[in-house]
Amino acid sequence: MANVENGAENARIERDTYKEAVDEHDQIRLVILGHSGIGKSTIVSRVFGIPEEEARVSHDVPGDHDINVGIPYPSNRSIVVHDSGGFESGVAAGVQKVSQFMESRRNMKQVKDQIHCIWYCIACEGDRPTQGFAEEFFSNIDKITGEIPVLIIFTKFDKLVDQHQSIIGRQNQDWPYAKTKQYAEGEALKDFEAKYRRQVISKLKNAKKKVDWEVVGRLQSPERGGADIGDPHNETGTNDLIAKTLACLAYSLKPMWVRTQRQNAQLKIDDSITAGLKDFKAASFSNGIPFVPLKDLAVEMITSNKIFQNIHRIWNQDEFLFRADKDTQVLMRDAIFDKNIVQQVASQIWDILDITGPLSQANNAVKFMKTVAGVTIIHERLFWYQKAQIEKMSTFSVREGRGISGAGKSKILPLSPQQVNNEIHKFRTSRQRILLSAQIEGQLNKYGLNLGKAYDAAEVEKIIREAIEVALGVGN
Ligand SMILES: Nc1nc2c(ncn2[C@@H]2O[C@H](COP(=O)(O)OP(=O)(O)OP(=O)(O)O)[C@@H](O)[C@H]2O)c(=O)[nH]1
Ligand SMILES: [Mg+2]
Give the distance between the most distant pair of CA atoms in the chain.
79
- 406 in a domain, yes or no? yes
* DSSP symbol at 236: B
For atom 8 of ligand 1, the residue with the nearest CA is 39
Query: From its phi and psi, is residue 252 left (phi > 0), alpha (psi between -120 and 50) or beta?
Result: alpha
Neighbour count for residue 457 (Cβ, 10 Å): 15
- 8 in a domain, yes or no? no
Record the pTM. 0.83
73 with 60, same domain: the answer is yes
> If pLDDT is split at 50, 70 and 90, which confidence band does 338 have?
confident
446 with 380, same domain: the answer is yes
466 with 354, same domain: the answer is yes
Q: What is 143-176 written as a DSSP string?
A: HHHTTS-EEEEEE-HHHHHHHHHHHHHHH-TTS-
99 with 208, same domain: the answer is yes
287 with 334, same domain: the answer is yes
Q: How far apart are CA 328 and CA 432, in angstroms?
A: 19
pLDDT digits (tens, 9 = 90+) for 260-300: 999 999 999 999 999 988 877 766 554 445 544 444 455 45
The number of helices, as runs of H, and strands, as runs of E, in the chain is 20, 6
58 with 161, same domain: the answer is yes
Is the distance from the beta carbon of residue 158 to the nearest atom of ligand 1 less than 6 Å?
Answer: yes
Say which residue, 109 or 232, is predicted with more confidence: 109
Ligand 2 centre from 90 Cα, in Å?
19
Rounded to a whole number of angstroms, the distance between the first and last alpha carbons of the chain is: 41
Q: What is the mean pLDDT of residues 442-467?
A: 74
> If pLDDT is split at 50, 70 and 90, which confidence band does 377 have?
very high
- How many CA within 13 A on the CB side of residue 142? 8
- 3 in a domain, yes or no? no
3-state SS class at 280: helix
- 9 in a domain, yes or no? no
- 42 in a domain, yes or no? yes
Per-residue pLDDT for 357 more than 90? no
Range of the domain at 405: 265-473
Per-residue pLDDT for 463 more than 70? yes
245 with 343, same domain: the answer is no
Lowest mean pLDDT segment, chosen from 18-27, 38-47, 127-136, 333-342: 18-27
Q: Pick from 217, 240, 260: which residue ends a domain?
A: 260
- Provide the pLDDT for residue 470: 93
327 with 466, same domain: the answer is yes
Distances, alpha carbon 413 to alpha carbons 43, 53, 121, 390, 408, in Å: 21, 14, 30, 8, 11
Ligand 2 centre from 364 Cα, in Å?
51
Which atom of ligand 1 is closest in space to residue 121's alpha carbon? 19
- 4 in a domain, yes or no? no
222 with 278, same domain: the answer is no
- 6 in a domain, yes or no? no
Contacts of 379 (CB under 8 A, 6+ apart): 268, 272, 311, 312, 314, 315, 317
> Nearest-5° angle of CA 301, CA 466, CA 445?
70
Per-residue pLDDT for 345 more than 80? no
Q: What is the mean pLDDT of residues 217-237?
A: 48
Q: Which residues of 343-365 are buried (b: 16+ CB within 10 A; e: fewer)?
A: eeeeeeeebeeebeeeebbbbbb
Say which residue, 387 or 282, is predicted with more confidence: 387
Per-residue pLDDT for 42 more than 70? yes
Is the distance from the beta carbon of residue 165 to the nearest atom of ligand 1 less than 6 Å?
Answer: no
**Which ligand is the nearest neighbour of the Cα of 37?**
1
Contact 155, 39 (CB under 8 A): yes
Q: Pick from 260, 281, 312: which residue ends a domain?
A: 260
Say which residue, 129 or 271, is predicted with more confidence: 271
298 with 240, same domain: the answer is no
251 with 314, same domain: the answer is no
Is the distance from the beta carbon of residue 218 to the nearest atom of ligand 1 less than 6 Å?
Answer: yes
Ligand 2 centre from 64 Cα, in Å?
9
CA 330, distance to chain mean position in Å, is 26
Which atom of ligand 1 is closest in space to residue 85's alpha carbon? 25
Is the distance from the beta carbon of residue 56 to the nearest atom of ligand 1 less than 6 Å?
Answer: yes
Q: Pick from 260, 281, 306: which residue ends a domain?
A: 260
**Count of domains in the chain?**
2
- Provide the pLDDT for residue 446: 72
366 with 380, same domain: the answer is yes
- 2 in a domain, yes or no? no
